[in-house]
Amino acid sequence: MKLNVARGFKPGTMISTVEVPPELRIKRTSGIDWIDDAMGGCGGFTPTSTLMLTGGPGAGKSTLLRQLADSLTKAGHIVFYNCGEESIYQCKMSIERLRLKNDFMVGEERMLPKVYNFLDNVKAQNPGKQIFFLQDSLQTLDDGKYVDSHGESRGTTGKTPGYCAEMMVDWSQQNYAVTIFICQVTKNGDFAGANKIRHAIDIHANMFVDEKEKSDTYGCLLFEVTKNRWGKCGTTYILGLTETGLEERGSFKKAGF
């Protein structure tokens, strides 16, 4: 893992002399109460965060990402939604079905360096605005190191997703941005990709249907945060799918948290 997280502190620096950038003390609310609660205890997203969202096919990952894009825009933030799994036409029709009203930027760029050239310009044109980069999904991106490659460098378990995850974390930290990307899972619903991706990101959220027959939430769609460097873990949110998207139906805390 080659993350550029160092900030120039020398060994032996006294912690009392470290000044935290004010940008890190400001939470950015999404406008979706249960998401803001999951991210930071009703506070929302911390700038510099990178969130990975996993879940099986049909769990509602793309629906949630589009709802977030709409709500974040309404909250006054700048949102770029990059389509990799579906065409922009399909995305637009989904937006219409969900009756989302707030306009946000979209694209279908597969080369991540080109995405960041674009976002650098967006940031320069919108000083003081919080930038959110939403990517569906990680596995559709190319980091530029293997432009015409095939085999092990591409796909869910190759090198390219790991390199892209590193670039996302670095860019978010350097620009006080927030990145949210969907990551594919295996047929069994397990995380698909190198473990270094999970080590790199700040937040890991998972969406899944409870298939344990003896569970109180059997058959329900659940959302839980299993890693959060900026906030809490241990709360599971019960979701329902309506004509206008996902909504919270309840929540509970896991034992031990």
Q: Is pLDDT above 60 for 147?
A: no
State pTM to two decimals. 0.92
Helix pair 61-74, 88-97: axis angle to 10 deg = 70
Mean pLDDT, residues 107-127: 97
CA distance 44 to 229: 13
Residue with tokens 């959060």: 228
Q: Is pLDDT above 90 for 126?
A: yes
DSSP character for 84? S
3-state secondary structure of 121: helix
Domains and CATH numbers, the chain: 28-206 (3.40.50.300)
Q: Residue 47 has which token pair?
A: 């700038």
Residue with tokens 């979706």: 32
Phi, psi of 164 (to 5 degrees): -65, -40
The tens digit of pLDDT for each residue in 154-211 reads 444 578 999 999 999 999 999 999 999 999 877 666 676 778 899 999 999 999 999 9
Q: Is pLDDT above 80 for 21?
A: yes
| Whole-number average pLDDT of the chain | 90
- Strand pairing class (105-107; 235-242): unpaired
Q: Residue 155 has which token pair?
A: 């796909």
- Calculate what percentage of the chain has a pLDDT beyond 70: 88
> Length of the chain in residues, anyone?
257
> Which amino acid, 115?
V
Banded pLDDT at 45 (limits 50, 70, 90): very high
The tens digit of pLDDT for each residue in 59-96 reads 999 999 999 999 999 999 999 999 999 999 999 999 99
